[in-house]
Structure 1
Amino acid sequence: MVPPAEQTTGIMKRPVIGIPLDSEEGGGYSKFPWYALRKNYIESVVAAGGLPVLLPHHPELIDDYVAGLDGLLVPGGAFDVDPALFGASSRHETVVLKEGRTAFEIGITRRMLQLDRPVLGICGGQQLLNVILGGTLIQHIPDEISQPLAHEQPNPRTEPGHMVEVLADSLLHRITGEDSFPVNSAHHQAAAAVGPGVLVSARAPDGVIEAIEQPDAAFCLGVQWHPEYHISAADTKIFDAFLQACGAK
């Protein structure tokens, strides 16, 4: 039976997608503390059929937020997950923390996973997802990978930085239909070990992990690049598949 609102409007309900905001204590946009998010995250969700809802960092409101969400997109940012959260005994000098944002994102991501609702992690969001699922991180790629690619690419993010190789029969492969495709790259950390049951579904030519997924979940995918820039058709397919898993028609 069609709900009354849909009978009267003829418009199908868009899935509600929560996106945690970035935050700064002051400087740049405002000398006072502020929240922000790049528009292309929002526009990508809308284009794929979703209704984006931006989430300020209030851990006490997580259950209230989650009650209204069909899916969660964890975006990237110019900061890192605290190495102590994955058992590291030291912190690399390049590591920058945003403890409040990280604590909130861990809390709401865990809650969504407990409820088996779709989660998409992008760049730093993929790294956070890997830690939540029991994995660890490379704290600084140039110090731990022999002859690494330029994962902090010198050219604009609107252009490819390198290729990724996709694991056959993975969720990412089913979504994109591609064995490999170009991506942009803007990170100095990456997933190292992955947790129990987590599948590495893409790697860069230098071996760096570029995508992880949880096969037992309704939809749980993390990608190390930024598909919101739509470098290739594969990026658009990732958003489409995420929104379809959230209930988009």
Structure 2
Amino acid sequence: MTQHKLFRPIIGVTLDSEEGGGFSDSPWYAIRQNYLSCLEEVGAVPIALPHLAELAEHYLNMIDGLVVTGGAFDVPPAMFGEEARTDTIRLKPARTKFEAAVLRGALERDMPVLGICGGHQLLAVIAGGTLVQHIPDEVAGALEHSVSKDTENAGGKERAGHSIAIEQDSLLAKLIGTTGQHVNSSHHQSVRTVKAPMRVTATAEDGVIEAIEHTGKSFAIGVQWHPEYKQMEGDVHLLAAFCAAAEAYHNR
């Protein structure tokens, strides 16, 4: 049962978007419900942020923490000084423009930030890092990071999954209480390099980077997996710690 509190931090959550077709003839926003419900369950008030880059500062004035979500799109290679080397890349310019603006603004304010999947990758790039454009093409002996198949389990999909090793001295390890965890996996790109003060804090057995954190900020963490599914106890700990950091940001 959710504990009721007089104050709850407000968390801005970025949306995905699609062009007209399917749900609506006009362009439309979308988000999985668990991106929002998982935050409500740990004591936050989640609000969805539309892709209006010119309003980024206004949104930042309203919120206490920022979640940059994943989605069916990629960070443009031009943002990390490369040309596209694969036809698997899908761009959503308006989304990326907004997320980059609001993420930069949050980091400048030392507002708590949690990047999930594509948000984790964008966090690395914003801080000067680079990406693997397509894991099967660039990582020798790669694990399966993106397979999904229809099944009666897991809400209709069975995702790939694997174990990760977490750096013992990292904030992530401190928050979730372990240096090893099984994670879900649904991505074809990954972080290749980070630039200090960003550091790598978790990797898969094939060397794919699974978590990063900004050592110069109070809470700026990116994870390649999807903790909003709360498949492991550590995921709940991470979300709760993020909510607590947002409350501390509000009260500072």
- Give the TM-score band, short-chain normalised: over 0.9
Residue in structure 2 matched with residue 179 of structure 1 by the alignment: 179
* 1:3 alignment counterpart: none
Does 2:222 correspond to 1:222? yes
Q: Does 1:192 align with 2:186?
A: no
Given the two structures, how large is their TM-score scaled by the length of structure 2?
0.91
- Structure 1 residue matching 2:29: 3-state secondary structure: strand
**Matched residues in 2 for 1:158 and 1:49: separation?**
29
Q: Distance in 2 between matches of 1:227 and 1:33?
A: 28
Give the one of 25, 31, 51 matched to 1:31: 25
Contact 1:153 1:184 in 2 (8 A): no
Does the CA-based 8 Å contact 2:148-2:160 persist in structure 1? no
Corresponding residue SS for 2:243: helix
Moved more, 205-214 or 190-199: 190-199
Tell me the equivalent position of 1:113: 107
Given the two structures, how large is their TM-score scaled by the length of structure 1?
0.92
Which structure 2 residue ranges, 5 or more long, are not aligned?
none
Task: Say if 2:14 and 2:49, in contact at 8 Å, map to a contact too.
Answer: yes
Aligned residue for 1:187, secondary structure, equals coil
The equivalent position to 1:21 in structure 2, one of 15, 29, 34, is 15
Secondary structure of the structure 1 residue equivalent to 2:71: coil
CA distance in 2, matches of 1:118, 1:183: 22
- CA contact under 8 A between 2:164 and 2:202: conserved in structure 1? yes
Identity, % of aligned positions: 49
Choose from 74, 80, 92 the match for 2:68: 74
Q: How far off is 1:33 after superposition? A: 1.0
| Partner residue of 1:127 out of 112, 115, 121 | 121
Q: 1:33 to 1:154 in 2, by over 3 A?
A: closer
Number of aligned residues: 240
Aligned partners of 2:173 and 2:179 also within 8 Å: yes
Paired residues of 1:200 and 1:213 also in contact (CA < 8 A): yes
- Residue range with higher mean Cα deviation, 146-155 or 202-211: 146-155
CA contact (8 A) 2:146 2:159 kept: no
Give the SS at the match of 1:182.
Answer: strand
Structure-1 separation of matches of 2:5 and 2:84: 53
Residue of 128, 138, 143 corresponding to 1:144: 138
Deviation at residue 63 of structure 1 after TM alignment? 1.2
2:93 aligned partner: 99
Is contact 2:164-2:204 (8 Å) kept? yes
1:54 corresponds in structure 2 to 48
Aligned residue for 2:203?
203
The AA in structure 2 aligned to 1:30 is: S
Equivalent residue runs for 1:38-49 within 5 Å: 38-49=32-43
Contact 1:158 1:184 in 2 (8 A): no
* Matching of residue 244 in structure 1 with residue 244 in structure 2: yes
CA–CA separation in structure 2 for the residues paired with 1:27 and 1:178: 44
Amino acid at match of 1:83: P
Residue 147 of structure 2 corresponds to 153
What is the distance in 1 between the residues matched to 2:178 and 2:5?
Answer: 33
Give the C-alpha shift of residue 224 in structure 1. Answer: 0.1
- Could you give the per-residue CA deviations for residues 43-68 of structure 1, whole angstroms, max 9, x where no partner exists? 01101111011111111111111111
Give the C-alpha shift of residue 160 in structure 1. 6.3
After alignment, is 62-71 or 152-161 more displaced? 152-161
Shift of 1:80: 0.2
Report the Cα distance in structure 1 between the residues aligned to 2:83 and 2:17, rounded to whole angstroms: 27
| Root-mean-square deviation (Å) | 1.6
Q: Is the 8 A contact 2:60 2:102 kept in 1?
A: yes
